[in-house]
Structures are given as structure tokens and as C-alpha cells.
Amino acid sequence: MTDLAPAVRFDLDDGIAHLVLDDPTQSANTMNPAFRSALTAAVDAVADQIAADPTSVRGVVISSAKKTFFAGGDLVALMATGPSGAAALFAEVEGIKADLRRLETIGRPVVAAIAGAALGGGFEIALATHHRIAVDGRYDLGLPEVTLGLLPGGGGVTRTVRMLGLQQALTGVLLEGRRFRPAQAREAGIIDEVVSSRDDLLPAAIAWIDAHPDAAQPWDRPDYRMPGGTPKTPALAAMLPAFPATLRAKLKGARYRAPRAILAAAVEGAQVDLETASRIESRYFVSLATGQQFRNMTQAFFFDMQAIGSGASRPAGIPPRPVTRLAVLGAGMMGAGIAFSAARAGIGVVLKDVTPEAAARGRAHAETLLDGLVAKGRLSAEQRDETLARITPTADVADLAGCDAVVEAVFESVELKHRVLAEAEASVLPGALLGSNTSTLPISVLSEGVENPADVIGIHFFSPVDKMPLIEIIVGEQTSDAALARAFDLAVQLRKTPIVVNDRRGFFTSRVFGSLVMEAARMVGEGIDPVAIERAASLAGFPGQPLAMLDEVSLELPQKIEKEAQRLAGAAYESSPAMQVLDELIALGRCGKAAGAGFYEYPEGGRKVLWPGLSDLFGGDVDVPLADIEDRLTFAMSNETIRVWEEGVLRTVPDANIGSILGIGFPPLLGGALQHVDGYEAADGTLGVAAYARRTRELADRYGDHLAPPTSLIEKAKTGATYR
């Protein structure tokens, strides 16, 4: 048996030392043990060659034999590293950085030749070279670690601060975790050159080497000055106190660890020499990588997103059938947003409403959105016109002829949806996909109104459609696998993230969102200060505040839903404690933002403010720990998610986590509604389902049995099982 080739190959050709990244055991290069040992061996080989014959090496080119340049750190291994592994992880990180530092000081020009994605640790390899060349294309470069709860620990903080200056490195690269296309990366100053094709890459690298025989990193030159100055520079020193305040405002006080660690590592590292700065960076990296927040965020935004993106919820064996012409029924804000998204994706759209004027208004809304993209430089005027031309407004159902898919976005009425779907089915192509954008009505009920119920499926968009990245696909009792596959593919065509759930009133997202806003309303009724409720939501990491979100959807909507649910159950309407709060506000005409008044006041030309009259109606002086308010909000959502799971509505844990984050604003730092349960970190440091169940019981004992642990949670706490 022969040994596998090394993960980094060393070849010497005409004075150019080629270091080729090519892990033989993986489809993408990562910083696994094979790479670490191969990197050391490759740098040793270059150094030994130079020592043996200084004239034999005139430069070094780092390239990749994979489709991507380098995928980054070994996240599977990092996820398995806890606090007890901190010392070993620190040694590993420092070892990789020592090899990269040896390479950039080896005495020869070093060029990164990039022809595919280079993110995180992969881009940090490129940063350790003297010149970075990328092939133009639709792939990503950058340091997105903050989005996974990490910081760039392979020299990314240290080097970008020295390349760009403290402020530009933080705001332009590190704190946003932005991904750049090659041309954008050049504009940002993190790529030096862009070539048009792979064939141009190596000649450009060699030409640069020959033109810069004495190349060195700027910070290794005696005349180096950090762009913008160091923290000791008076102008920068005067600005530094604002950095933490600005970051806190941007995060709305949420307890994200990674952005704060990035800021600290950058500022502290800018005050010392490069080697010391690198060690500071490594310590912050290890602190994050061995913490629970990193595991939560990486599980959701890498592994769960990867599971969804791989099509795990799409029926196998059904060939793709892209939508070519989409009928959108209803030209209100939602329908117009769907039409806009489809046209942007290159799909022809027939936008139908009851009158030509209403349909034209929907198209005009799409035009306004397109004009906004042109104003921001994200679209040319020609592209705007081409996109808008794909939308045909109409009031004539005959114009739906030739459509191979339908999405209705009309008012939430079973009778109305039956009628518009039946009309559309009679006009579109045979076997066309019949989608409903309902947020609450059972798909199995809606399918009763058409000839072919197997073609009916829920395709639930979120508002505003042009910005929200999620689609919730709901499978009815008679929905076929072919319809599910087509709906999944349509979501991907629209550049949305699809989750798939089973049918029941409210499905997954609407039910769990309702648990959040109604828990907030309930707390108002208990006399808890509304300001404290909204503030606690921000601290917990919610991107929106629950009372404000309730105003956005309107107070009347949950009231209608609850009345309808009780009517279908054969019961007289009886308000829950949360609904009693809404009933009182609705009786005063305070029905939400659209009515100009709800929990908030909406002064014309001013910012919304919580209505002072809430204290007269409900009090507001009940003293409750802020941590309890935070947990009541997050636990209400996670507990309802568990119940949805128990009922078989949810199909997979990734769907639960990604759906809760992207669709209904569950705090990303907790990793999603079920990851919050599996990865719960108690105040005493205990982790997992049992700790979550104990805290749930505490909350129920204090605030009511509606917060009591669900059945499966109790069982899993006993056995040590998880939901994953």
C-alpha cells in the first residue's frame, strides 16, 4: 500500500516553488491534521531548497488543485473541542501561524494564485503572501468567521489591521464578515490583482515575482506605518472610545461574543508588534472556539444550512423542472414582492388581481424596488427594464395560459383561496404547481377546492419578500412528491432558503412566532414594563422587538386566528391572558401600525415610541428579573417548537433551526429554536437538555403552566437524549 500524496504538494519548476493545496482525502481543502503537517513539510522544503542553492528559487506560488482555493478551518474538529481542549487548540493555531509567518519572511516573493472560493482560514493563507491574484468569477473571498461566532484566528485580524488600518479593517472586513467577489475584494484592498481566466493566473503570478524580487510584507519594512495610525496616534486615540459604543448600538446590546472579541483583538494587537498581536488573536480565537455560542451558531449557519442546501428535504429521484412562467394571484404587497423576486430570478410573471388598476399597482411596487437597486448601483437601468418587462399585470384569468406554476397571495379566506386556485387551475398548463402563500390555513383544506389536490402545496413567503430569505413549504395530506420537488426547486430558483414542514393550522413558523408575541403581550398584562420587555428582547439577540412586531402584523390578526380556531373546535370565544391585552387595545382603536396606533405611537415624521397609556391600562411596575423576561421570550418559542416537533409538523432539526432564525427572528446567537434546547447553557455552566428542562420548570413555577416543559422534553431530560 502506498502513502497518500501530501495535502500540500511542493514542486520546483524553472525557479518557481509551487505549493499546491490538494488534500487527497477531501473534496475541499481544510485546516485538518493532514494540512498542518503538510504545510510544515512544504515550507521546510522551500527553505531547504533556498539554503542548498539560493539561485534555484526566485519565488513561491500558492495555488489549489481543487475547485475552491481553501475552505477554511476544520469545523467538525472545532465543534468537538471544549474548554478542556483549549491549550491543545492554542498550540495548533500557533503552529499554523508560525509556518505562515516563516513563508512570508522566507526571503522570496510569495504569491497566492486564487481560482475559487477562499474563505476564513483559506483567505488567511492568502493574506500571508505578498501579492494576491484572483480569477474573475462568481465565487467568494473573505473572512466571514464572525457569522459563525468566531474571529479569524489564522492571522486575519492581525494582517488586515496592518494592511488597511484599524478602522477600515474592522468596518470593512472583520465585523461584518462580508463575502467579496474578486472585483469587490480588489476594491476593498484585500486582493491586489484580478485576471480574466485561469490561463492568465500563473503567468500573472510569475510576472509579478520577476518584477518584485525583493518583495516583503509592508509591516516587515523599516519605514512601515500603520494606515490611519495606531491607538497611540492622537487622531485615532480620540476616536477609540466610540468604537465599543458604536458596536453595542449596532448589536442592539445583544450578547454576541465574536464581534466584541474581534474589536478587542484588533485594538490590542494594533498597539504591539506583529508576533505579540498574533498571540493575542490566537487567545481570543480559542476563547470563542471552546465556547457554546460558537457551537450554536456554527451548527445553524454552517451544518444546518448545509443540510438544507444539499436538498435533504427534497424527494429523491425526481428530475428538476424549473418554472418558466409563474402566475401570481393577488397584487398586494406580498404578491408584488413575489412577482419582483421571480422576475429578478429570470422567471416570466403574470400578476393578476381583480382589476387592471390593482394589478398595475403591484407592478409599480416591483418597479419601485428595482429603482432602489439602480440607485444603489446594484442594477443597471437596462437590467431594471429587462426585469420589469417580465411582469405582466392583468385582471383577466385567461392571461394565465401557459403558466406552469401558481402562487396565490390573496386574503386569508378558505372560500376565496378555493375560488382563485380553481380559476387558475382551469387556465394554466395541465399539471401546473398550485401554491398557496397562506400563513395559517391548512393546505389539505385548500386542496379541496381544485380538481388535482396532489398539485397543491403551501409556499409561505415572509414579508418583505424582497428581503426575507426564507420560504416555508407546507406539504398537505394529498400533496405529491413531484409537487414538493417542484416547490423546493422554485424556492431555489428564487434564491431563497426552503424549509419543508407538514400540514396543520399555523404550520411551524406562524405558530412559533405567535408564541413569542403573545408571551410579550401576556407580560404587558401582568404589569411588566413594556420598555423592559422590548429591551430584554434586544439583549437576548432578537433582531426585532416583540411588541413592535405585533404592531407590524396587526393586533387583529391573532384575534381573528384565535376566534377561528375556537369556532372550528366548537367552542365559544374565550380570551387567553395575552388576548385580553389585545382585546382591550383593539377596543380603543389601537389595532397596530397600519391603524396608526397599537402598543406604539406612530407620530408623523417621527420615530415610534411605546404608548404611555399602557401603564394606565396594565400597570408596568411589576419587578421581574431581566433574565426571566429574556428566557420567557426564547423559551416560549423553543417550547412551542418542541410541541410542533411532537405533532409531526416539523420534519428535521435543520428546518426548525433555520426556519426559526431566518423566518421569525429567533436569536441567531442561540443557533435556532431546537439548538437552543440541545445546546442550552445555564447560569451555573451546566449544558444541554436537562439544564434547559430545569430552567423551563423554574419559569413555569413562577409565571404559569403555559411555560411548563413539553412531554418529550421531560423524557429527553431523563435519558440524556437530544432533539438532533
At 173-193, the pLDDT tens digits run 999 999 999 999 999 999 999
Q: Examine the domain organization and report whether 459 and 408 are in the same domain.
A: yes
Confidence of residue 569 (pLDDT cuts 50, 70, 90): confident
Q: Examine the domain organization and report whether 235 and 281 are in the same domain.
A: yes
At 455-488, the pLDDT tens digits run 999 999 999 999 999 999 999 999 999 999 999 9
Q: Examine the domain organization and report whether 146 and 231 are in the same domain.
A: yes
Cell of 703: 409565571
Average pLDDT estimate for 64-84: 92
302: in domain: no
Say whether 386 is catalytic: no
At 655-703, the pLDDT tens digits run 999 999 999 999 999 999 999 999 999 989 899 999 999 999 999 999 9
Helices (H) and strands (E) in the chain, counts: 31, 21
- Alpha carbon distance 237, 230 (integer Å): 8
Q: Examine the domain organization and report whether 285 and 397 are in the same domain.
A: no
At 117-126, the pLDDT tens digits run 999 999 999 9
3-class secondary-structure state, position 31: strand
Give the residue from 451, 478, 505 where a domain finishes. Answer: 505
Read off φ and ψ for residue 536, nearest 5 degrees: -60, -40
- Alpha carbon distance 337, 370 (integer Å): 11
Q: Examine the domain organization and report whether 414 and 392 are in the same domain.
A: yes
Instruction: Give the closest residue to 631 by CA, choosing from 549, 524, 554, 520.
Output: 520
Instruction: Give the closest residue to 188 by CA, choosing from 123, 269, 279.
Output: 123
Q: Which residues pair with 392 in a beta bridge?
A: 350
Confidence of residue 1 (pLDDT cuts 50, 70, 90): very low
Q: Residue 4: its pLDDT value, please? A: 62
Q: Which of 92, 104, 124, 630 is catalytic?
A: 124
Q: Residue 566: its pLDDT value, please? A: 78
- Alpha helical stretches, state H, 675-720: 675-678, 689-703, 711-719
300: in domain: no
Distance linking the first and last C-alpha atoms of the chain = 39
3-class secondary-structure state, position 202: helix
Task: Give the helix/strand (H/E) hosting 326.
Answer: strand 325-329
Say whether 145 is catalytic: yes
Cell of 209: 515575482
295: in domain: no
pTM: 0.93
Q: Examine the domain organization and report whether 286 and 337 are in the same domain.
A: no
Summary mean pLDDT of the chain: 95
536: in domain: yes
Q: Examine the domain organization and report whether 404 and 255 are in the same domain.
A: no
Q: Residue 2: its pLDDT value, please? A: 40
Write the CA distances from 302 to 147, 256, 433, 705, 723, integer angstroms: 9, 17, 31, 35, 18
Q: Residue 3: its pLDDT value, please? A: 54
Q: Residue 564: its pLDDT value, please? A: 75
**Domain around 395:** 325-505
Q: Examine the domain organization and report whether 540 and 662 are in the same domain.
A: yes
Q: What is the CATH number of the domain that holds 350?
A: 3.40.50.720
Q: Examine the domain organization and report whether 524 and 471 are in the same domain.
A: no
314: in domain: no
**Dihedral through CA 74, CA 75, CA 76, CA 81, nearest 10?**
100
Contact 50, 107 (CB under 8 A): yes
Q: Assess whether pLDDT exceeds 50 at residue 90.
A: yes
Q: Examine the domain organization and report whether 514 and 497 are in the same domain.
A: no
Average pLDDT estimate for 489-501: 98
Give the residue from 458, 488, 505 where a domain finishes. Answer: 505
Give the residue from 240, 272, 290 where a domain finishes. Answer: 290
Q: Assess whether pLDDT exceeds 50 at residue 167.
A: yes
Q: What is the CATH number of the domain that holds 237?
A: 3.90.226.10
Structural domains counted in the chain: 3
C-alpha gyration radius of the chain? 28
Task: Give the helix/strand (H/E) hosting 23.
Answer: none
573: in domain: yes
At 424-433, the pLDDT tens digits run 999 999 999 9
Q: Examine the domain organization and report whether 521 and 373 are in the same domain.
A: no
At 572-620, the pLDDT tens digits run 788 899 999 999 999 999 999 999 999 999 998 889 999 999 999 999 8
Q: Which of 92, 145, 472, 519 is catalytic?
A: 145
Q: Assess whether pLDDT exceeds 90 at residue 17.
A: yes
599: in domain: yes
Instruction: Give the closest residue to 670 by CA, choosing from 694, 641, 707.
Output: 641
Average pLDDT estimate for 553-557: 92
Confidence of residue 216 (pLDDT cuts 50, 70, 90): very high
Q: Examine the domain organization and report whether 65 and 199 are in the same domain.
A: yes
Portion of the chain with pLDDT greater than 70, in percent: 99
DSSP classification of residue 389:
T
452: in domain: yes
Q: 256 or 724: whose pLDDT is higher?
A: 256
Confidence of residue 562 (pLDDT cuts 50, 70, 90): confident
